[in-house]
């Protein structure tokens, strides 16, 4: 189904290492929520992005990697497609990996002078996939440590930040223990702050990610 007058241009960006035995047919089924949302009948038909300069959705068979730099018009209901996609990719992923999703307000023009009180409805979300909750938490932990060190190195020497890293590790160890104790080990949690996906609002429009 072709979508008209959609409020967002939605950009999906990420690189997911896949198991060596994953076939194109398995990947196509896992990504069905995306290509079906785009109104296509197959992954190949939907793989091209709205923008020609973006690589779109690519499966590197030799490296066993799914690469996504793909834009599609859509609405808030695209988040459901993302949730379903993550569940499918969890079964194919070799290790944990992040997927960035940006919702660009299609009606907001950066080059025009905005009216008083007029702001873009842009949104940014991080989704995580992986073969196990531990793998998902590991990539979450690595990204958080990278961001924190990048921020704090403006004020402190890197050698002074060991205790900060240890504190982050303790938080993630506690979260993992909580998962095990609550018998949810086989099902990653969802929602803000969970392993499956979380959202965060950024300040201003984020640039598109191009390979």
Domain boundaries, given as residue ranges, for the chain: 8-131+187-200, 138-181
44 torsion bin: left (phi>0), alpha (psi -120 to 50), beta (else): alpha
Would you state the pLDDT for residue 3?
Answer: 53
Would you state the pLDDT for residue 191?
Answer: 39
**Model pLDDT for residues 5-25, shown as the tens digit of each residue:** 679 999 999 999 999 999 999
Checking if the pLDDT of 186 tops 50, the result is no
pLDDT > 70: percent of the chain = 76
For residues 102-131, give the mean pLDDT. 76
- Among 77-91, 106-120, 197-211, name the most confident range: 77-91
Would you state the pLDDT for residue 112?
Answer: 53
Residue 146: pLDDT band (50, 70, 90) is: confident
Using CA atoms of 86, 90, 94, 96 in order, give the dihedral in degrees to the nearest 10: 60
Strands 65-74 and 97-105: unpaired
pLDDT > 90: percent of the chain = 52
**Model pLDDT for residues 50-101, shown as the tens digit of each residue:** 999 999 999 999 999 999 999 999 999 999 999 999 999 999 999 999 999 9
Would you state the pLDDT for residue 159?
Answer: 84
DSSP string, 33-50: HHHHHTT-SSHHHH-S-S
CA dist., res. 21 & res. 150, Å (int): 37
Checking if the pLDDT of 165 tops 90, the result is no
For residues 181-197, give the mean pLDDT. 46
């Amino acid at each position: 189904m072709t979508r008209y007058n959609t409020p967002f241009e939605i950009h999906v960006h990420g690189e997911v290492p896949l198991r060596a035995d994953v076939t194109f047919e398995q990947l196509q089924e896992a990504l069905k929520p995306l290509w079906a949302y785009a109104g296509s009948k197959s992954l190949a038909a939907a793989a091209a992005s709205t923008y020609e300069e973006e690589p779109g959705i690519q499966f590197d068979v030799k490296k066993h990697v799914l690469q996504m730099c793909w834009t599609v018009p859509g609405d808030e209901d695209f988040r459901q497609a993302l949730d379903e996609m993550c569940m499918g990719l969890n079964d194919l992923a070799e290790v944990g990996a992040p997927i960035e999703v940006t919702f660009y307000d299609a009606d907001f023009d950066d080059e025009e002078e905005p009216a008083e009180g007029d702001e873009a409805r842009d949104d940014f979300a991080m989704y995580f996939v992986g073969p196990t909750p531990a793998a998902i938490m590991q990539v979450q932990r690595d990204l958080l440590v990278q961001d924190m060190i990048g921020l704090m190195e403006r004020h402190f020497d890197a050698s002074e930040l060991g205790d900060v890293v240890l504190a982050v590790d303790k938080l993630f160890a506690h979260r993992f223990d909580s998962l095990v104790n609550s018998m949810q080990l086989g099902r990653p949690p969802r929602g803000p702050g969970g392993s499956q996906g979380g959202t965060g609002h950024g300040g201003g429009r984020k640039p598109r990610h191009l390979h």
